[in-house]
Structure 1
C-alpha cells in the first residue's frame, strides 16, 4: 500500500530532551560523554566585570560552540551559527533549546580576543592530561613533525618589502639597493592584510606562499596530540623541536624516552640537545652536502684537542666563532705545498677553512647509528609517518586546518589549539565508546553508568558477582 506522510507539523513543544533525537554514536554525543567544562567559568572569571555591564554568554556554551564547529568541520563562525540554527546536535551540545536564540557570530570573535591564546592553550593541555589519565597516552615515545598552513590572504595583498630603507636613498642608489637585496635574499614579499604570515614552501618545485607553520608532538600509543605550537612559515623546524619536547614533558609529567622526526630535523644541535636530555633520537641523519671535491667528512675533528685534521694530516686551528659553530683554518704554507690544493681550495683562497657546527660529534654518532638501525627502529620510524603526518592530514582534511580561518599569529594559535583539543577529545571519546560497547553492550550505552574523573566522564568498572 502506498504510504502518505503529513508534512504540516503543528506541534510547538516536544517532551524530553533533544538528546533523545540524536544517535548514540554521533560525534558530539560521544565527545559529550568525556567533556566536563564546569571548571571553565572560574578560570575566566577574572576577565569579566562582576557588578557592571550586560550578562555575557556562558563561557561553557561559547567553548562548546567552538569545539562543535571543529569537531564537525565547520570552522567559520558565521557558517557555524547558521548551521546551529537547524542542527539539533550542535544546539544540544552547546546547551541551547529549540526556543532559545543563538548568539551572534561576532560574539565568538570577541570571546577569543578577550580570553587570549594562552587560555586556549590551557584548555588544550587539559585534554592532554585527561588522555594520559585515561591511559590512552603515555608520553614516553613521541613523534615530532611540522606542517605549513596557508594564511587567509590573497595573492593581490602581497607586496615587495625592501629591507634597505628605500626612502633614505634616491635615484641610482635605490636601483642598486633593490638589485642587491634581490641577490642576497633580503628582498622579500609580505602581505599587507596579514603581516605575521611569511613566505614558505614545502617543496623546491612549488612556489612560495604566505603561510604559518604548526609544530606538533604526537604520542605513539593512539595518536594523542601532546603539544602543538604555531610559528611563522619561515621558522626552521630544528629551531623549536627541543623547546616543544620540553613543553611536552612538562604537560604530561612524563620523561620522554624516544623521539622520532624526519630528516628535516637532522641537525647537530638537535642530536646534541636530545642526548643531553637522555632522549633516544630516531631521526635519519643526512650526509654532508658535496660542496667541494674534498668534503667536510674527509676532515677529522678531535673534540678533546679542539683541532681538525685534514686528509693530508695537517692541523687546522680554531678561529672565528659562528652562530652555529666555529671556523677552523689551516696554515697558508701547508696548503701551498699540499698536492690536493687544486681540489681543496677555491681560486681566491690561500688556505682551507671548514666550519664545525656545535655538537658535531653528536651528528657523527647519529650518522653511524643510522647505518645500523635495528628492525624496531625502522618500524618506529614508519609509525612516525602515519602517526605524526597522519594527524596533520586529519586536521587539514576533517577539521579545517588546511587554511587559516582568521588573520594574525595569535588567532592562528587559537585555531591550532582548538583543533588539537578537538582531536584529543575525539580520541578519548573513541576509547570510551569501545569500552562502553564492551562493558555495557548495545542496550546500556545511554544508561548513565558513569562517574567523573579529573574533569572528564569515565565508565564504571564491571563489578564481580561478590561486589555486585
Structure 2
C-alpha cells in the first residue's frame, strides 16, 4: 500500500498560514472539503514502492495540476507562484520555507504516473459523490450538451504563433518603460519560420541580459511562454499536426479543428459525466453513454434535457425503455418536413384529406414506401391540376406545365408522434428553459479554465485537461452551494 509522505510540515513559521490565508480563501476551503488521499489508492500501481529514492508525493503533484486548471498558468509559472504565494503553499501542504519542485517534474508526472488511468471518470465520480454527501444533488434531471476545444497546433502557422508570443513580451516590456524600444532587436521581416525563431531568440537574450527587468512578474510570464514556444512547440509544429484532432462543425458556415467534450450536468450545475471525442463526432450518439456514466456515479436519472441533436429516434426509444423523459425538440425536418410553416396545407380530419391555401381539397391519396423498410413511408395527396393552373396562389406552389400537383406527408413513427405531442406540453416548455445552465458552464470552462484551446496534443492529453478542468469547476460549485 502506498504510504502518504506529506502532512503539513512542522515549521516555526507555520503559524503564518493562520495570519495570511483567511478562512474564506478558496484553496483553504478546497483542502477542508476534499480528502485527497484517494490519489494514493488510484496511483499506487504506477509507483515502485521498494526501489530507489522516494518520489515527490503524488497528492502534492496532483494538487499542482489542479492549481494549473484553476488558475490557467504554465508549468513554470505555477511552480514559481507556489514559491511565494502562501495560499498555494498551504494548499500544497508545504512549510513556508520549503523549496518548490522543478517544473519538469509535472511533465513526468503527467506522462508516467497518470498513464492508463481513467482520470476523467474517476474525478467526476469523486466530485459527484462529494456533492451527494453534502446533500447538494436533489434533482433527477440532467442537461446534456457538447462544447468544442480547438487543437493546440495548426490553428495558426508556426510563424504566426511566434509573432503572437513575441508581441505579448514586447507589450509587457513597453509597459515598464517605452525607452526600451530602442534596445530591442529589429522585428523580423523575412517570411520564414527560421528567421522568426532567430528573432525570438534574440529578443529573449536581450530581455534576460541587457534590460534588467526579466525578474519582474509582468515580464516573467510572457518571457517564459515565448521561451517554451521556441524550445518545445515550434519543431513539433513544423513536422506534424495533432494526429488525433479532427475538423468539426459548429454551424453550416463555421468549423473548428480539435475536439468535442460531451457533458451531462444536473440542474444544480454539477457535471456528472463527460465523453471526450474528436471534433467530427455526432452529439446525439453520445447521449446513452452520458446517461450510463451519470447513473454509475449513483445518481437517479428521470429526465434528460438537450437540444435537437439528442432527439434522434434511437434516443427517444432508449429513454422510453428506461422510464426517462427526453426533453429535446424534434428536428423541424421530422415535424414539418422541408417546407416552411407558411407553406403547409391544412388537414381536414373528417375527409381525411389536405386542403390547400386556396381552399381546394385533394382528390386522392396514395401511400409510398414499404412499411418497416428504410425511410418512413409517406402519404402523397393529389390535387386537381386544372384548378392549380388557374389558382391565384400558384406562384411557388404549382410549377407551370406540370401534369400533377402533389403534397407529400411523412408518416411519423410511434416514437416521433409521441415526442411531438410531448414537446407541445407546458411541462416540456418549462423544463427546456433549464438548458441555459449548461451553456453557461461551457463558457466557464472556456473563459476561466483555458478550455477553448488544448494545452497538449492528442486525445489522451485532452482527456487529462478535461478531467482537471471539470474537477476544478465541480469543486468550485460545491463550495458555492455549501457556504
TM-score category of the 2 structures, normalised to the smaller one: 0.5 to 0.7
Change (3 A) 1:368 1:22: same
Contact preservation (8 Å) 1:75, 1:405: no
Q: Which residue of 1 aligns with 2:265?
A: 218
| 2:370 matches 1:318 | yes
Contact preservation (8 Å) 1:198, 1:212: yes
Change (3 A) 1:57 1:338: farther
Q: Map 1:295-334 onto structure 2 (within 5 A).
A: 312-318=364-370, 326=375
Q: Gaps (5+ residues) in structure 2?
A: 1-10, 159-238, 348-361, 389-396, 400-405
User: What is the CA–CA distance in structure 1 between the aligned matches of 2:104 and 2:426, rounded to whole Å?
Assistant: 54
* More helix by percentage: 2
Q: Which residue of 2 aligns with 1:242?
A: 288
Match of 1:239, SS state, is helix
Change (3 A) 1:41 1:155: closer
Q: CA deviation at 1:13?
A: 6.4
Contact preservation (8 Å) 2:151, 2:258: yes
In the comparison of the two structures, how many residue pairs are matched? 363
Q: CA deviation at 1:231?
A: 0.8
Q: Which residue of 2 aligns with 1:348?
A: none
Contact preservation (8 Å) 1:149, 1:401: yes
Q: CA deviation at 1:311?
A: 10
TM-score by length of 1: 0.67
Q: Which residue of 2 aligns with 1:464?
A: none
TM-score by length of 2: 0.65
Q: CA deviation at 1:408?
A: 0.8
User: What is the CA–CA distance in structure 2 between the aligned matches of 1:75 and 1:237, rounded to whole Å?
Assistant: 30
Q: CA deviation at 1:319?
A: 7.8
Contact preservation (8 Å) 1:68, 1:93: no
User: What is the CA–CA distance in structure 1 between the aligned matches of 2:398 and 2:305, rounded to whole Å?
Assistant: 36
Change (3 A) 1:311 1:106: farther
User: What is the CA–CA distance in structure 2 between the aligned matches of 1:247 and 1:134, rounded to whole Å?
Assistant: 21
Contact preservation (8 Å) 1:272, 1:363: no
| 2:324 matches 1:273 | no
Change (3 A) 1:329 1:30: closer
Q: Which residue of 2 aligns with 1:286?
A: 331
Contact preservation (8 Å) 2:27, 2:87: yes
Match of 1:33, SS state, is helix
User: What is the CA–CA distance in structure 2 between the aligned matches of 1:216 and 1:373, rounded to whole Å?
Assistant: 26
Contact preservation (8 Å) 2:146, 2:283: yes
Change (3 A) 1:413 1:75: farther
Q: Which residue of 1 aligns with 2:249?
A: 201
Q: Which residue of 2 aligns with 1:50?
A: 49
Contact preservation (8 Å) 1:19, 1:92: no
Change (3 A) 1:285 1:319: closer
Contact preservation (8 Å) 2:261, 2:274: yes
Q: Map 1:1-400 onto structure 2 (within 5 A).
A: 14=13, 16-71=15-70, 73-114=71-112, 115-116=114-115, 117-138=117-138, 140-155=140-155, 192-205=240-253, 207-220=254-267, 222-251=268-297, 253-288=298-333, 290-291=337-338, 312-318=364-370, 326=375, 360-374=413-427, 377-385=428-436, 387-400=437-450
User: CA offsets per residue over residues 133-184 of structure 1, 9 Å max, x none?
Assistant: 21111351111111111111133569xxxxxxxxxxxxxxxxxxxxxxxxxx
